[in-house]
Chains A and B, each alone.
Chain A
Amino acid sequence: MDKVMSNKYVIALYVLPALLLILAIIYVPIVLTGYYGLTEWNGIGAMKFTGFDNYARVLQDNAFWQSAGHSLLLAVFSAVSLFGYLLVALVLSGKVKGANTFRKIYLIPMLLSSVAIAQLWLKVYHPTNGVLNSFLESLGFSNPPAWLAETSLVLGALFIPILWQYAGFYILIYYAALKNIPASLEEAAKIDGANAWQIAFRIKLPLIMEVIKVTIVLAVVGSLKYFDLIYVMTDGGPNGASEVMASYMYHQAFRGFDFGFGSAVGFVLLLICLIITWIIRKLTESKDTIQYS
């Protein structure tokens, strides 16, 4: 058995194709991004090594920090909205008839492409014929705003479809975690006289803390690299009011042909994602995890 199962040629045959592929498509490019950031390059011609000039430029670039601020705001929104998802999941995981159907319905938007979602919400927000402004007008608001054209409203307006897209995903994760809690714990608490509120917040939430931490990281890092929907809906506009880090990088590289600077932005984006993941991990670290099985 051992001899057959440690045959080096077979192992190489099974592992190398996939391994070489992720090295070539994921890991080599990550290193190259860091390196390209040290050069001046238009994407086609010769590279000129310029040391840390691009990175210094990124750090002093107001437009970059503005986009980073927008990304961070989206991340905070996303993290806060997790609380709402958690409440829905708590309700759903109670003895609700049709819970399975509900969580499936909630999940539908998550399965659609960001392009389709973006195009659909462009229509929802359409100033004159969109369903949102039609609704507001029927309620008596005479001059509803052009949501995506106002610098002060655009980020909030973009966040709604993001919420719509991901709600089902987080509700599904929380629901699965809550359903994994043994029913005996809840019964014991009931016998001891705990009410539904206490059971939810004193017993269930602490038990799924690990899952909550994971979702915070997912939501925050996911928001920091958010791109598709914003690229399609506003392309960072109006006037940079909805530019985020990934779209800023894309514009610098593939529109401005400043691939050196774009790479530097891309590498800083990677570092920010890794650092923030690490910080959230540290902040939510607990000395002892609760076991229940």
Chain B
Amino acid sequence: MKIVSAGRLPAEQSYEGKSGLGKIGVGLLYVVLVAVACLQVLPLVWLFIFSLKNNQEVFNLPPFALPPSPHWENYAKVWTEGNISLYFFNSVWVTVISVVFTVLLASFVTFAITRMKWKGSKLVLGLFMIGLMIPIHSTLIPLFSMFLKLNLTDHPLSIILSYIAFNLPITIMILLGFYYALPREVEEASVIDGCSVNRMFFQIVLPMTSSVVATTAIINMIYNWNEFVFVNTFISSDKFKTLTVGVQNFIGQYTTDWGAIGATLMISILPILISFFIMSNRIVEGIAAGSVKG
């Protein structure tokens, strides 16, 4: 296994002036790039537009026409009536807890593997890396029956434990590249000064790796926020459902109210879109670093 690309790209080079023919060629290339960009964004623009319409406007206006007066009340309605606020906050805290534990446990393991000397470190690393290739569906039935026996079905712990376990491999993989490149002089000096391993880890190593920790945290956040199968299988009562399953159930009941469906979907993707606009470089870096040779 190895990391395909560790993110960081060379600085942008801009197009330099060429002959007229070259310019036409370049223009055509831009048309292609812009067309692809439109295809990627237009369905979301359409979603936003119909989230502001009532059914009459959805059926009678052209798809991309804005309604005369936007129905922002669609958002207020689903937020208060449809349990969406409950699902939303469930998603928030389940995601936060899972991300914190995943990143911390993965940092522990990566530190032990790259910095400490012990037999079996190769084997343990191998176990984590093979974990990347296991399809979650092949674990679903035994997990369900295990959680059933432990009385953890319909309990948030079942999804939190699953999220942490299945995200550890990818998180460790992204961290590894960074830890290998990290200079050891500071750590060596701290040992000579009589620093304990724990203090070294929490006061020196963790702060030094904060940028890659942020990258893995945002990637983990996206995965956990979007996860569907585990919640759908393990959680049955509304009070523990997260947004993906909650949205799915809610829409199942309101199949004909387009505005409500649009508003629900917008609410569910908004946190991801906002974090993307704030931290797009980190996300791009994390996804590029996380593409694995499996």
A residues with a Cβ closer than 8 A to B are 1-2, 4-8, 10-11, 13-15, 17-19, 21-30, 32-33, 36, 43-44, 88, 91-92, 94-97, 99-100, 102-116, 119-121, 123-124, 129, 131, 134-135, 164, 167-169, 172-173, 175-177, 179-180, 210-211, 214-215, 217-218, 221, 224-225, 227-228, 232, 246, 249-250, 253-254, 259, 262-263, 266-267, 269-270, 273-274, 277
Contacts and interface: CB of A to CB of B under 8 A. Distances in A.
6 nearest A-B residue pairs (beta carbon): A25-B165, A113-B226, A32-B142, A29-B142, A29-B139, A270-B138
Given A6-B118, A173-B4, A176-B7, A27 B127 contact: yes
13 contacts: A5-B117, A14-B111, A18-B106, A91-B29, A96-B30, A97-B12, A106-B40, A107-B283, A111-B276, A164-B40, A211-B5, A227-B137, A228-B229
Contacts of B251: 119
A108 B40 contact: yes
Given A111-B272, A115-B228, A123 B261 contact: yes
Nearest to B113: A15
B99 interface: no
Contacts of B201: 14
Chain B CB within 10 Å, residue with most, of A4, A91, A267, A277: A4
A-side interface mostly: helix
A127 to B, nearest CB: 13
Given A25-B166, A26-B166, A221-B294, A250 B137 contact: yes
Contacts of B145: 32, 43, 259
A104 B142 contact: no
Interface string B273-294: 1001000100110011001111
Interface stretch (B78-86, B191-199, B206-214): B191-199
B228 to A, nearest CB: 5
B5 to A, nearest CB: 4
Contact of A119 (B113, B116, B128, B247): B247
A22 B106 CA distance: 11
Interface in B216-249: 222, 225-229, 233, 243-245, 247-248
Contact of A97 (B14, B39, B144): B14
Residue among A21, A36, A135 with max Cβ neighbours from chain B (10 Å): A21
Contacts of A92: 33
A106 B37 contact: yes
B180 interface: no
Contacts of A11: 112, 116, 118
B143 A29 contact: yes
Interface in B92-125: 105-106, 108-109, 111-113, 115-118, 124
Nearest to A2: B117
Contact of A249 (B113, B137, B169): B137
Contacts of A176: 4-5, 7, 9, 288
Contact of B127 (A22, A29, A121): A22
Given A22-B131, A25-B139, A169 B287 contact: yes
Interface string B9-47: 110111110000000000001101100110111011011
Contacts of A27: 127, 131
